[in-house]
Amino acid sequence: MTNNPHGGKLINRIVSNEEFKIFKENKYNLKTINLNRRELSDVEMISIGGFSPLEGFMCQNDYISVIDNMRLSNGLIWTIPITLSTTSEEADKFDLGDKILLLDEKGEEVAILFLEEKFKYDKDLEAEKVYKTKDKEHPGVRTLYSQGEVLLGGKINVVERNSHNSFYKYYLTPEETRKLFKEKGWKTIVGFQTRNPIHRAHEYIQKCALEICDGLFIHPIVGETKSDDVPAEVRMKCYEVLIENYYPKDRVVLAINPAYMRYAGPREAIFHAIVRKNYGCTHFIVGRDHAGVGNYYGPYDAQKIFYEFNPEELGIVPLFFENTFYCKRCGNMASSKTCPHKEEDRIVLSGTKVRQMLQEEEMPPIEFTRPEIAKILIEATKKKRTDYNI
How confident is the model over 333-380, as pLDDT tens digits? Answer: 999 889 999 999 999 876 667 778 888 888 888 888 899 999 998 888
Q: Are residues 203 and 334 in the same domain?
A: yes
Q: Is residue 301 part of a domain?
A: yes
Q: Is residue 139 part of a domain?
A: yes
Residue percentage of the chain with pLDDT more than 90 = 71
Give the CATH number of the domain where residue 107 resides.
Answer: 3.10.400.10
Q: Are residues 64 and 189 in the same domain?
A: no
Mean pLDDT of the chain: 91
Q: Are residues 265 and 119 in the same domain?
A: no
Q: Are residues 216 and 146 in the same domain?
A: no
pLDDT at position 33 is 96
Q: Are residues 125 and 195 in the same domain?
A: no
Task: Choose one of 131, 158, 185: the last residue of a domain.
Answer: 158
Q: Is residue 202 part of a domain?
A: yes
Q: Is residue 9 part of a domain?
A: no
Task: Establish whether 69 is a catalytic residue.
Answer: no
Q: Are residues 61 and 192 in the same domain?
A: no
Q: Are residues 229 and 306 in the same domain?
A: yes
Exposed/middle/buried for residue 49 (C-beta within 10 Å: 0-12, 13-18, 19+): buried
Work out the average pLDDT over 140-167.
Answer: 91
Q: What is the 3-state secondary structure (H, E, C) of the chain?
A: CCCCCCCCCCCCCECCHHHHHHHHHHHHHCEEEECCHHHHHHHHHHHHCCCCCCCEECCHHHHHHHHHHCECCCCCECCCCCCEEECHHHHCCCCCCCEEEEECCCCCEEEEEEEEEEEECCHHHHHHHHHCCCCCCCHHHHHHHHCCCEEEEEEEEECCCCCCHHHHHHCCCHHHHHHHHHHHCCCCEEEEEECCCCCHHHHHHHHHHHCCCCEEEEEEECCCCCCCCCCHHHHHHHHHHHHHHHCCHHHEEECCECCCCCCCCHHHHHHHHHHHHHCCCCEEEECCCCCCCCCCCCCCHHHHHHHHCCHHHHCCEEEECCCEEEECCCCEEEECCCCCCCHHHEECCCHHHHHHHHHCCCCCCCCCCCHHHHHHHHHHHHHHHHHCCC
Which of these is catalytic: 12, 34, 36, 196?
A: 196
pTM value > 0.85: yes
Residue percentage of the chain with pLDDT more than 70 = 95
Work out the average pLDDT over 220-249.
Answer: 84
CA angle 5, 258, 282 (to 5 degrees): 30
Using alpha carbons, select from 118, 98, 15 the residue that is nearest to residue 57. 118
Q: Is residue 6 part of a domain?
A: no
Q: Are residues 152 and 186 in the same domain?
A: no
Work out the average pLDDT over 160-174.
Answer: 84
Task: Choose one of 130, 158, 186: the last residue of a domain.
Answer: 158
**Segment 254-311, tens digit of pLDDT:** 999 999 999 999 999 999 999 999 999 999 999 888 888 989 999 899 999 999 999 9
Q: Are residues 140 and 195 in the same domain?
A: no
Q: Is residue 96 part of a domain?
A: yes
**Segment 278-290, tens digit of pLDDT:** 999 999 999 888 8
Amino acid at 126: E
Task: Choose one of 129, 158, 187: the last residue of a domain.
Answer: 158
Domain count, the chain: 2
Q: Indicate the pLDDT class of residue 388, thresholds 50, 70 and 90.
A: very low
Determine the structural domain holding residue 88 and report its residue range.
17-158
Q: Are residues 147 and 175 in the same domain?
A: no
Work out the average pLDDT over 18-40.
Answer: 85
Which of these is catalytic: 195, 267, 276, 346?
A: 195
Q: Is residue 108 part of a domain?
A: yes
Q: Are residues 96 and 123 in the same domain?
A: yes
Task: Establish whether 196 is a catalytic residue.
Answer: yes
Q: Are residues 335 and 203 in the same domain?
A: yes
Work out the average pLDDT over 223-238.
Answer: 77
Q: Is residue 4 part of a domain?
A: no
Give the CATH number of the domain where residue 286 resides.
Answer: 3.40.50.620
Work out the average pLDDT over 174-196.
Answer: 95
Exposed/middle/buried for residue 92 (C-beta within 10 Å: 0-12, 13-18, 19+): exposed
70 against 108, higher pLDDT: 70
